[in-house]
Structure 1
Amino acid sequence: MPRVAVVVGNPKPRSRTYEAALSVAERLGGADVVVDLADHASELFDWSSQTVADLVAQVASSRVVVVASPTYKATYTGLLKAFLDRFPHQGLAGVSAVPLMLGASPAHALAPEHGLRQVLVELGASVPTRGLYVLDAEHADPAPYDAWFAAAAPFLPALPTQPHEVVPA
């Protein structure tokens, strides 16, 4: 059972969003599963894809999932929406989710709360902390992640400290 999973909805592989999501996962003890949806875009609408079904199962069995997206038109990407549509009703029940979004302007700072949080809760995830919004220009700066983690840590589930192997998905 993965402790921490990361799902990145940026259509560009290994993007700033990817780097930001891994920064959050590191503060949670490291990612056990990393799903960069750009690597699976051609399969997301193939409902018979066993690869995508396996990714959904891995994310659904994690304790915590960091769900990350760039801000597109004040919300998350269609790529991420297509992946989240693969989860059944309450498919993330028992999982704590961290909504993370990157954007160019502080004007969209509430996007994780108004968009991404809603769909994660609808899927049954617990979202025990405020979502994290990071400006693109600050994605490599540890300060926004450190500030978020300092406020969020008391509300996040305790994770076992056993060693883990990262499985890029």
Structure 2
Amino acid sequence: MSTILSVAGSPSATSRTARLLHYLNARLTSDGHRVIELDIRTVSAQALVGADFQHRDIVASTELFAQADALVIGTPVYKAAYSGLLKSLLDLLPQDALSGKTVLPLATGGSTAHVLAIDYALRPVLSSMGAAHIVQGRFVLDRELDLREDGSLVIEPTAAKALHQALDQFSCALAQPPMLPAAS
């Protein structure tokens, strides 16, 4: 099975996005995949903002991307785009950090007005970094995610069904042979 890097791009410690990723990571693990979690808010802010490519957190994050066969990237949507925290990390990775990898982009937000953030903001960046296959992303409204006091997450049934379909598509893409880059 595949090694999947699950990247949480929210700056919030009580992030719906991070909880959603934990939920999906459990499903991927039960499907036999090895899931490694990267919560970007734990990466040195000074290294991210200062573009310190040599900082141990940036070097470690780069190594995680290199080890992964595939990625699930989750972000809240702020001002019609993915989080600045995620942008900061992606900017410090090598240009080909996603080369040959399958990626499932996920976003959460408060309004359906932000539903296109995946396709118009995040997808082009993932593509420019060499992703071989970007699975159809999923946007989940904040109101479809109920964070319980005990730390559990309850997902509205229609949203849960759509998320499971996205994971199924992601798993199918992982089962396909890797796509070769076009000849120059």
Q: Give SS of 1:94's match.
A: coil
Residue in structure 2 matched with residue 163 of structure 1 by the alignment: none
Q: Give SS of 2:85's match.
A: helix
Q: Give SS of 1:125's match.
A: coil
8 Å contact 2:103–2:134 — kept in the other structure?
A: yes
Query: d(CA) in 2 for partners of 1:18 and 1:151?
Result: 17
Change (3 A) 1:151 1:70: closer
Query: d(CA) in 2 for partners of 1:15 and 1:57?
Result: 25
Q: CA deviation at 1:92?
A: 0.9
Query: d(CA) in 2 for partners of 1:17 and 1:84?
Result: 18
Task: Say yes or no: does 1:42 pair with 2:46.
Answer: yes
Larger RCO: 1 or 2 (CA < 8 Å, sep 6+): 1
Q: Which of residues 75, 89, 93 in structure 2 aligns to 1:87?
A: 93
Q: CA deviation at 1:22?
A: 2.0
Relative to the length of structure 2, the TM-score reads 0.76
Task: Say yes or no: does 1:16 pair with 2:16.
Answer: yes
Q: CA deviation at 1:81?
A: 0.5
Aligned-partner residue type, residue 15 of structure 2: S
Q: CA deviation at 1:142?
A: 5.8
Query: d(CA) in 2 for partners of 1:136 and 1:31?
Result: 28
Query: d(CA) in 2 for partners of 1:67 and 1:15?
Result: 14
**Aligned-CA RMSD value:** 2.3
8 Å contact 2:109–2:139 — kept in the other structure?
A: yes
Larger radius of gyration: 2
Change (3 A) 1:52 1:113: same
Change (3 A) 1:48 1:2: farther
Residue in structure 2 matched with residue 25 of structure 1 by the alignment: 25
Residue in structure 1 matched with residue 117 of structure 2 by the alignment: 111
Aligned-partner residue type, residue 59 of structure 1: F
Show structure 1 runs of 4+ deviating over 4 A: none
Task: Say yes or no: does 1:102 pair with 2:112.
Answer: no
Change (3 A) 1:7 1:59: same
